[in-house]
Structure 1
Amino acid sequence: MKNRGLEIILIVLSTLLFLLTSWVFINNANVALFVILVIVIGLFVTTITLVTRQKKVTAQQADEIATLQQEIVKQRDEEATMLANVSHEMRTPLTTITGLAEGLQYGVMEGNEQRSYDLIKEEADRLTRLVRSVLSLERMRQGNAGDQAENFNVTSLISELIEKMWPQANKFGNEIQNLCEPDVYVYAVVDQVERILINILANAIQFTKNGIITVSAKDVAGKTHLFVTDTGIGMTAEQIDRMWQRYYKVDPSRTIKGESGLGMSIVRELIKANNGEIKVTSKVDVGTTFEVVLPQKSS
């Protein structure tokens, strides 16, 4: 509102200057007086212009500072939430390990020693996966993944992954179908694309029972589209929105023991790091489709 007022003053002064100039030429008025008036009005115009410009710069800086402060607060909240979640996730395995170790120490696990050692190993592995996931997510968030992109055949990679994950799918009574077009290529980091697909396939397997999971890859308008579709429990729109949050688990009762809930957060960061995008469509009790779009050449 103040800037608008200054603009009006500038218009008035400019108009006045024009009128004075016209008056001098028409009436042959005193040139010295005219020069003085022009200088005075010019100073006014210059001063108001500078003030207006400075106000705009100050307002812009204030907006930038406010945005920066919001980012700092957001980052601080995220770090606090992450610390709380990590602490929560670590508490269960640490409590289990401590309890089993004390049981073995005081001889109360007699006859179940081997099972106790197995449980300790499982919980230690769970902690290891959690720490690796957290470190990996943080490196990606800071842009320090360090791997190099290359052009590779994603169809071959998918065939290998399906073969590796077939036993896990079998445990849930699921069938994995490979519907990929032959020799589809992407330009990305091989290990990261493999991790993306493993996470998505693992989710499809977990949340599908006695169903079908299809994987396909195709070239669409110069980009590679990867699809993973299942006939599982599906998700609501709210669950899809929350799925990308760290440590969120769509259905904790059906999540494989030891999973941290960081999988989809990592997937999104990896896709972003490879200049791609991901889309999810789902319907409860019908199934879910993940679509990953990746470039075929360096951008």
Structure 2
Amino acid sequence: MIRDEQMKKGRIEKLLIILILMFVLATLLILCHLNELITILVLTLITAIGVYGLILLKKQVSLLGKQQHEIKFLKNKIVAQRDEEAAMLSNASHEMRTPLTTIAGIAEGLQYGVISPDEQQHSYDLIKEEADRLTRLIKSTLSYERLRQQQLDNRPEQFSVVSVIRRQIEQLTKQAESVGDEIQDLTEQDVIVYADPDQVAQILTNILANAIQFTTNGIITVAVDEIAGQAHIVISDTGIGMTEDQLGKIWQRYYKADPSRTKRGESGLGMAIVKQLVSANHGEIKVSSKLGIGTTFEILLPSKIN
């Protein structure tokens, strides 16, 4: 395509050069046969046509340059998209390999009687556990892919974000208590947001679950207020925190800040999904953290229809 545009550009340039040469020859002939007044008029006309031709040439060159730039941009975008899809497939394959290997190994052990009858029930439990893990990985991957391709069914409405926050805290309280954490609800006023309620619930769940995962015997706080027509949600924890390098990678797919603390079945897509969901609801999110002190997420969501 780029070669075709270059050939087109070359043909236009040649055509204009030929026209200008013809005008010059015509001018010489006119100078030889017409009186002075007509000569001046013809010269003026020829000059105007020549200038107009040069202007057209400049515009065509500029247009072709712009088209080539757009083609190059689209080509690079396609290449980047292919690389991203290849990387995603590679990461997904890597994440799914472990549970599949475990299931295959246990199934083979059961098939050849290597596993004793006393251990068989535990083996069946492991197969179920790994199958559930695979299911969660696949669901997370598909959810992220739909978000990335903007295929998510987004249904925004106005609702109280405080009620959603309290519902998610209630759902995760037992999980927090199991590791000695306390979730403190610091919401004091009713704040309205204009977003998809289910997606906001998922954003809150993912961030709270992440805070619980990286906090032991600590405190997780959730607060909300209104700033310049936007709901400002703040979720903080007293967990292990992150380094600057970890902060820079937190939104990447399949990234796990501390693999040793990653629970079985975690895909590493939680924060990538959060980022996409916030963007899908026309919001903003930022994170700050200090190693050994804790992490804070700040979410801004519109409070009303724009």
TM-score between the two structures when normalised by the length of structure 2: 0.86
Equivalent position of 2:96 in the other structure: 90
CA separation in 2, counterparts of 1:90 and 1:234?
Answer: 28
CA shift, 1:217, in A, is: 1.1
Counterparts in 2 of 1:89-238, with a 5 A limit? 89-110=95-116, 111-238=118-245
Quick one: percent identity of the two aligned structures? Answer: 56
RMSD over aligned Cα, in angstroms?
1.1
Deviations 1:182-236 (A, max 9, x none): 3211111111111111110011111111111000111111100111000111111
CA separation in 1, counterparts of 2:189 and 2:68?
Answer: 55
CA separation in 2, counterparts of 1:239 and 1:70?
Answer: 28
Deviations 1:70-106 (A, max 9, x none): 1111111101100100110110000001111111222
CA separation in 1, counterparts of 2:188 and 2:195?
Answer: 18
CA separation in 2, counterparts of 1:185 and 1:101?
Answer: 52
Deviations 1:32-85 (A, max 9, x none): 111111111111101110110011111111111111111111111101100100
CA shift, 1:298, in A, is: 2.0
Q: Is the 8 A contact 2:180 2:217 kept in 1?
A: yes
Aligned to 2:63, which of 57, 72, 76? 57
Equivalent position of 1:272 in the other structure: 279
Q: Is the 8 A contact 2:154 2:280 kept in 1?
A: no
CA shift, 1:146, in A, is: 1.2
CA shift, 1:281, in A, is: 0.7
Q: Which residue identity lines up with residue 123 of structure 1 in the other structure?
A: E
Equivalent position of 2:41 in the other structure: 35
CA separation in 1, counterparts of 2:240 and 2:262?
Answer: 13
Q: Which residue identity lines up with residue 236 of structure 1 in the other structure?
A: T
Q: Does the residue aligned with 1:112 lie in a helix, a strand or coil?
A: helix
Which structure 1 residue ranges, 5 or more long, are not aligned?
1-28
Which structure 2 residue ranges, 5 or more long, are not aligned?
1-34
Equivalent position of 1:255 in the other structure: 262
Q: Which residue identity lines up with residue 297 of structure 2 in the other structure?
A: F
Q: Which residue identity lines up with residue 44 of structure 2 in the other structure?
A: V
Equivalent position of 1:25 in the other structure: none
Equivalent position of 1:239 in the other structure: 246
Q: Which residue identity lines up with residue 228 of structure 2 in the other structure?
A: A
| Greater than 4 Å deviation, 4+ residue runs | none
CA separation in 2, counterparts of 1:31 and 1:146?
Answer: 75
CA shift, 1:291, in A, is: 0.4
Q: Which residue identity lines up with residue 46 of structure 1 in the other structure?
A: Y
TM-score between the two structures when normalised by the length of structure 1: 0.88
Number of residue pairs matched by the alignment: 271
CA shift, 1:167, in A, is: 1.0
